[in-house]
Amino acid sequence: MWDPQQYEHFRDARKRPFFELLARVPVAAPGLVADLGCGTGDLTLTLAQRWPGARVSGVDSSEPMIAEALRRPAPERVRFELADLARWQPSAPLDVLVSNAALHWLPDHAALLSRLVGLIAPGGVLAFQVPANFEEPSHRRIDEVRALPRFSPALASVRRGHAESLAFYEAHLARLGLAVDAWETVYLHVLPGEDAVLQWLLGTTLRPVLAALGLGEDQVFLDILRPLLRQDYPAAPHGTPFLFRRRFVVAVRQPSS
């Protein structure tokens, strides 16, 4: 379902939130680090560079993404695993668990976060970033086309990404005994190229939709969506402005929790 080349099309814009998240992780020398939803693995390798004494695991549920990650030269202390993000189990409690733009694909964030906290050692950190753009025109237009009678039966079971509020994440993690730093950022990306917002969505939100429709119907879907996105996101001579909201959480597990 996932296409590493399409995902990397806006590589710099997609990387920036990862580094802004990582900058707030207050751990000097962890022993065991995991990147949940590692994608092509390039950002996972930066974790190994930041913490040269750590063993680092990159985990993703996409075979093409893990295949791409395994092609990257990496030190022996870095490993990549194909696994269900909701069920993956580390070999020992983690000192740092990072997830960049992956948890929004999973349901029931209350249960999910409770499970992830259970994977972290006392004093360890859970740090994640999730897109929160689901009420913006880009995603509303996708929902509009998904609801058309031609497509809705095939897409009824295709999960839509979601993010809870910052208040939800803070309250839930605080109840679990973690000290929480949470914030939200709205980026203004100026995307190059023709149908730039559509190209952005083809790397993420549209992947499960098009996979469920299959060849032929996927192109019909895009032919309907394309003019709607052009209407909502008119291109300027220097590129197409695209507002994108993301939510960030860095939570430290207290030694007694």
pLDDT at 209: 96
- Averaged pLDDT for residues 198-206: 92
- Averaged pLDDT for residues 143-169: 96
Is residue 43 within 8 A of residue 18, CB to CB? The reply is: yes
CA-to-CA separations, 122 to 53, 88, 164, 203, in angstroms, rounded: 19, 19, 25, 36
Residue 204 predicted with pLDDT over 90: no
Structure tokens at 198: 């559509």
Count of beta carbons in the 10 Å neighbourhood of residue 230:
16
pLDDT at 7: 47
* Number of continuous H segments (helices) and E segments (strands) in the chain: 11, 7
- Whole-model pTM: value is 0.92
pLDDT digits (tens, 9 = 90+) for 108-126: 999 999 999 999 999 999 9
Is residue 97 within 8 A of residue 69, CB to CB? The reply is: no
> Which numeric CATH code is attached to 4-253?
3.40.50.150
pLDDT at 13: 81
pLDDT digits (tens, 9 = 90+) for 27-80: 999 999 999 999 999 999 999 999 999 999 999 999 999 999 999 999 999 999
Structure tokens at 234: 């008119």
